[in-house]
């Protein structure tokens, strides 16, 4: 039965072998997700990433999904992550200089201490978003309609090799995951 092998117990809190196994699997999944997303964003330019996402979403256009707009939003969000991290660091340093303490206290107190950080961060993020929207409007940006590309995406030999490797990896992971259930 799940939770049968207790490793540690204290009052209402107990740690089981199954819980540790599940926690380790989730941690490995999170690390792999971060690793693969970092590799993707470090090795692919934002323009190519936008074009790729747009091509993946193109079949959904027939049901009204705005493929270009979604791809553009995802690319802009990726582009602003480092900017928001720098802004967060700058605001934290300014708040610390004014006497704010982000590291002491229990979890609830730490969350309350984050409020002076979140308000200026949201204001800054909305200001940057408005500036970007004004800049895009000033350049007459109207979305994907009639848009041409300098370089059209095309499958090359490397892409086919990568596709085959990803399919083999997915099949291997599926066999590892569900093979035990099927008796393989």
Report the distance separating Cα 146 and Cα 148, nearest Å. Answer: 6
- Delimit the domains of the chain by residue range: 1-43, 45-162
- How much is the pLDDT for 184? 60
Across-strand partners of 9?
14
50 burial level (CB within 10 Å; 0-12, 13-18, 19+) = buried
Which residues, including other chains, have CB under 8 Å from residue 9's CB and lie 6 or more apart?
15
- How much is the pLDDT for 101? 78
C-alpha Rg value of the chain to the nearest Å? 23
Low-confidence ranges of the chain (pLDDT < 70): 1-3, 144-146, 180-184
- How much is the pLDDT for 1? 55
| DSSP-H helix ranges across 98-156 | 107-113, 115-138
What is the pTM (predicted TM-score) of this model? 0.55
Q: What is the largest CA-CA distance in the chain?
A: 66
Q: Alpha-carbon torsion 40, 79, 53, 47, what sign? A: negative
């Amino acid at each position: 039965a799940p939770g049968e092998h207790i490793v540690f117990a204290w009052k209402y809190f107990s740690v089981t072998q199954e819980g540790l196994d599940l926690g380790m699997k989730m941690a490995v999944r999170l690390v792999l997700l971060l690793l693969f997303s970092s590799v993707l964003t470090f090795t692919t330019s934002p323009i190519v990433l936008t074009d790729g996402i747009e091509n993946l979403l193109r079949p959904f256009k027939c049901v009204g999904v705005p493929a270009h707009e979604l791809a553009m939003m995802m690319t802009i969000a990726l582009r602003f992550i480092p900017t928001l991290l720098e802004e967060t660091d700058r605001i934290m340093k300014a708040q610390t200089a004014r006497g704010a303490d982000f590291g002491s206290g229990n979890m609830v107190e730490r969350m309350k201490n984050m409020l002076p950080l979140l308000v200026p961060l949201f204001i800054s993020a909305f200001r940057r978003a408005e500036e970007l929207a004004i800049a895009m409007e000033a350049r007459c940006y109207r979305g994907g309609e009639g848009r041409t590309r300098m370089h059209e995406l095309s499958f090359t030999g490397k892409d086919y090799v990568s596709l085959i490797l990803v399919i083999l990896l997915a099949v291997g992971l599926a066999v590892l995951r569900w093979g035990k259930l099927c008796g393989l």
